[in-house]
Amino acid sequence: MLSEHDLRSALERIGVVAPVRFDEVTRSTQDTALELARAGAPEWTLVAAGHQTAGRGRLGRAWVDEPGRALLFSVVLRPALPPEGGGLLTLLAGSAMAQACRQVAGVDARCRWPNDLVLDAGKIGGIIAESRVADARFEWVVLGVGVNLGAAPGGVSGAAAAGDAAPATLLEGFLRAFAARYEPAHPAFAGAVVAAYRGVCATLGARVRATTSSGAAVEGEAIDVDLDGGLVVRTEGGLEIVRFGEVEHLRG
């Protein structure tokens, strides 16, 4: 089980001092972190929990965890980054957690675009990002991360787990990997993030069907991720860029 001491220690090891909060049980770390962000919490404010009763994923989905058998946290960011580049933060979080899972849990975790963490065909975790934009800049971004540990939650189709890693050690591994590339104002930021993500992206090379936010259907081979984090799909009619929506991996 994590503690506030673990959260402070993990931040200190990346050279950061920021507020932390740990709840044994909470509705959602994301909800708590959003409240703190709106109230002016500084960058790197870190919220974690042992169990969520109403965890959330992308597109309004629920996130279910086994009490005490998941790493569940949200972090407040205030990036100097154009809003159109916000997707890079999700990719950075994905590659950072995949790296941490490999180093700490010894499993070949990979990313399924845009926000899933997978092991073989099973989903071991996910990432959610919520933000407020004003005057064409981010006021804040809250990244939420959940990773199953030990065993997948019962009754959740397609779920898997990352192994028996200690939550505190996995959190520290994530923060180290994330902070190493988190330089949103640097001109090389996008290139560095995308290069790292390409190396762990299970979607690249797969045949996919994507339903975009506008409802349009795109089908073809996922061949790249562009510098804004969009998925490049080669279709019969040419290249299409998927910025947001559902992506299904097809067989064959």
| Planar angle of CA 9, 14, 17, nearest 5 degrees | 60
146 and 232 in a common domain: no
Choosing from 198, 217, 235, the residue where a domain stops is 198
pLDDT, tens digit (0-9, with 9 covering 90-100), for 119-146: 988 999 999 999 999 988 999 999 999 9
Choosing from 176, 198, 220, the residue where a domain stops is 198
> What is the model's pLDDT at position 58?
61
Instruction: Give the per-residue pLDDT at 219.
Output: 94
* Pair 60, 105 in one domain: yes
In this structure, the answer to whether residues 14 and 128 fall within a common structural domain is yes
d(CA 75, CA 5): 16
- Please check the confidence at residue 234 and state whether its pLDDT lies above 60: yes
- On the question of pLDDT at 248 being above 90, the answer is no
Is residue 91 located within the same domain as residue 27?
A: yes
Q: Is residue 41 within 8 Å of 19, Cβ to Cβ?
A: yes
Per-residue pLDDT at 145: 97
Does residue 46 sit in the same domain as residue 86? Answer: yes
Question: Quick one: 187 and 123 in the same domain?
Answer: yes
- Provide the domain count of the chain: 2
pTM above 0.85, yes or no: yes
Do both 189 and 158 map to the same domain? Answer: yes
What CATH number is given to the structural domain containing 83? 3.30.930.10
Pairwise CA distance, residues 185 & 159, whole Å: 36
Whether 138 and 243 map to the same domain: the answer is: no
Residues 190 and 227 placed together within one structural domain of the fold: no
What local confidence, expressed as pLDDT, does residue 155 receive? 73
pLDDT at 55 over 80: no
Condensed to tens digits (0 to 9), the pLDDT of residues 163-176 reads 889 999 999 999 99
Residues 189 and 237 in one domain: no
- Residue 144 pLDDT: 96
Alpha-carbon distances of 190 from 32, 54, 102, 127, rounded to whole Å: 29, 33, 23, 19
Q: What is the pLDDT of residues 74-83, one digit of tens each?
A: 999 999 999 9
Mean pLDDT value across residues 16-24? 97
- Output the six-digit token pair for 225: 């991720």
Same domain, 123 and 33: yes
Which residue segment(s) compose the domain that 238 sits in? 207-249
Has residue 252 got a pLDDT over 80?
no
CA–CA gap between residue 216 and residue 167 (Å, rounded): 40
Same domain, 150 and 220: no
